[in-house]
């Protein structure tokens, strides 16, 4: 059985995609125990159906835990359930950005902690409706040494979902690549309140993107990643902004719905990294502060 911690959009996508009977949700400590969670599932292709996924009981021993909370909730969410898990149970983190993965790995270095980078897209336009809005790929890799021998087994368990899952020994590299794209698109869409493609002609974007890419390029290299030129990073950011021009980013959606954003784990992470390494990051700082002002932090 696979345990899912965080029954939001991504957690429900896993609940709906894994074979019936192979996954269950982990309740928060103190949460009244329910038998199951029932919701409508609209797949990327095909007809809508109703999904009923059980909650795991205290005696159940899941063989893998998927953590699908927001980055800012992840450490507390895991702390709430970790004592009931054997030390050998792999824990797979699905958070966007960076910072929460290292915090979890640093807190439990003796446990098999894995991280995923996924381009699947899921959202909940209504509380009881889960929409699989976009199909993509999911890469899974180790964050701690004890996770290395667990990688293939975790990937095989997830492949039963029919989603595209791949092992990735260098998961930090994948996470950095996604971080760069998110850092160059998400805060602008939230500040400008526009879809991804709408940022490209905005003065705020045009006036700051060159300096932002310069910061990103220096930070990547200082963090031990392969150096990429500011121009190459800008090209990648703009390629994604164009290919997803009509999409609303998760950061803009969070602001519109009055929810806390993940800015602290995207441009905020880069700003803190710069502070630690003595690298100036005025554009990341400006974007972080402006997004923080838009939502409760
Ligand atoms: N959705 C996607 O398509 C997608 C794609 C790629 C990556 N991601 C990443 O995946 C993560 C989750 O995203 P999401 O869109 O699924 O967010 P979400 O819809 O907000 O889901 C997060 C869920 O975690 C629950 N939660 C918070 N604290 C908890 C705790 N202590 N114990 C148990 N559950 C807890 C929340 O419950 P409450 O609402 O009751 O607080 C919520 O149901 C984010 O880091 C996101 O960036 C998402």
Asked whether residue 9 falls in the same domain as residue 120, the answer is yes
Please tell me the total count of domains within the chain: 2
Asked whether residue 143 falls in the same domain as residue 188, the answer is no
Asked whether residue 163 falls in the same domain as residue 107, the answer is yes
At which of 169, 188, 217 does a domain end? 169
Asked whether residue 137 falls in the same domain as residue 193, the answer is no
pLDDT along the chain (297 residues), means of 10: 97 97 91 87 96 91 97 97 95 98 98 98 96 96 98 98 97 98 98 98 98 98 96 98 96 95 98 98 98 84
Write out the residue range of the structural domain in which residue 88 sits: 2-169
Asked whether residue 56 falls in the same domain as residue 107, the answer is yes
| Separation of alpha carbons 148 and 112, rounded Å | 8
CA 202 / ligand 1 centre spacing (Å): 30
How big is the CA angle at 248 (ends 94 and 4), to the nearest 5 degrees?
25
Asked whether residue 79 falls in the same domain as residue 212, the answer is no
For residue 237, the model assigns a pLDDT of 98
End-to-end CA separation in angstroms for the chain: 36
CA 69 / ligand 1 centre spacing (Å): 4
For residue 254, the model assigns a pLDDT of 96
At which of 169, 187, 209 does a domain end? 169
Active site residue 178: yes
Asked whether residue 185 falls in the same domain as residue 76, the answer is no
Asked whether residue 146 falls in the same domain as residue 215, the answer is no
| Separation of alpha carbons 168 and 214, rounded Å | 28
Q: Which CATH number belongs to the domain containing residue 124 in this structure?
A: 3.40.50.720
Q: How far does CA 148 lie from the centroid of its chain?
A: 21
Q: Which CATH number belongs to the domain containing residue 198 in this structure?
A: 1.10.1040.10
At which of 151, 169, 187 does a domain end? 169
Minimum-distance ligand 1 atom for the alpha carbon of 27: 33
Asked whether residue 143 falls in the same domain as residue 16, the answer is yes
Asked whether residue 219 falls in the same domain as residue 100, the answer is no
Ligand 1, CB cutoff 6 Å, lining residues: 5-11, 28, 68-71, 73, 76-77, 80, 94-96, 118, 120-122, 250, 262
Asked whether residue 76 falls in the same domain as residue 184, the answer is no
For residue 296, the model assigns a pLDDT of 66
CA 201 / ligand 1 centre spacing (Å): 32
Asked whether residue 289 falls in the same domain as residue 266, the answer is yes
């Amino acid at each position: 059985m696979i345990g899912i911690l965080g029954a939001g959009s991504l957690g429900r996508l896993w609940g709906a995609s894994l074979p019936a009977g192979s996954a269950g949700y982990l309740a928060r400590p103190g949460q009244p125990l329910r038998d199951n969670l029932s919701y409508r599932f609209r797949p990327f292709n095909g007809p809508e159906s109703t999904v009923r996924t059980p909650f795991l009981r205290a005696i159940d021993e899941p063989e893998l835990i998927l953590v699908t909370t927001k980055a800012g909730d992840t450490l507390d969410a895991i702390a709430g359930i970790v004592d009931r898990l054997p030390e050998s149970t792999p824990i797979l983190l699905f958070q966007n950005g960076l910072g929460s993965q290292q915090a979890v790995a640093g807190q439990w270095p003796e446990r098999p902690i894995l991280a995923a980078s996924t381009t699947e897209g899921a959202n909940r336009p209504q509380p009881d409706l889960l929409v699989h809005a976009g199909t993509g790929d999911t890469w899974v890799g180790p964050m701690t040494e004890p996770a290395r021998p667990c990688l293939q087994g975790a990937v095989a368990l997830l492949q039963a979902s029919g989603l595209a899952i791949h092992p990735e020994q260098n998961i930090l590299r994948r996470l950095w690549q996604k971080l760069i794209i998110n850092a160059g698109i998400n805060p602008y869409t939230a500040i400008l309140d526009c879809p991804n493609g709408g940022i490209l002609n905005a003065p705020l974007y045009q006036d700051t993107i060159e300096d932002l890419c310069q910061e990103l390029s220096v930070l990547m290299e200082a963090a031990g990643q392969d150096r990429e030129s500011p121009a190459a990073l800008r090209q990648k950011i703009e390629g994604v902004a164009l290919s997803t021009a009509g999409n609303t980013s998760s950061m803009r959606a969070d602001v519109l719905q009055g929810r806390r954003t993940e800015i602290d784990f995207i441009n905020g992470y880069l700003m803190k990294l710069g502070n630690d390494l003595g690298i100036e990051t005025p554009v990341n700082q400006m974007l972080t502060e402006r997004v923080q002002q838009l939502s409760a932090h």
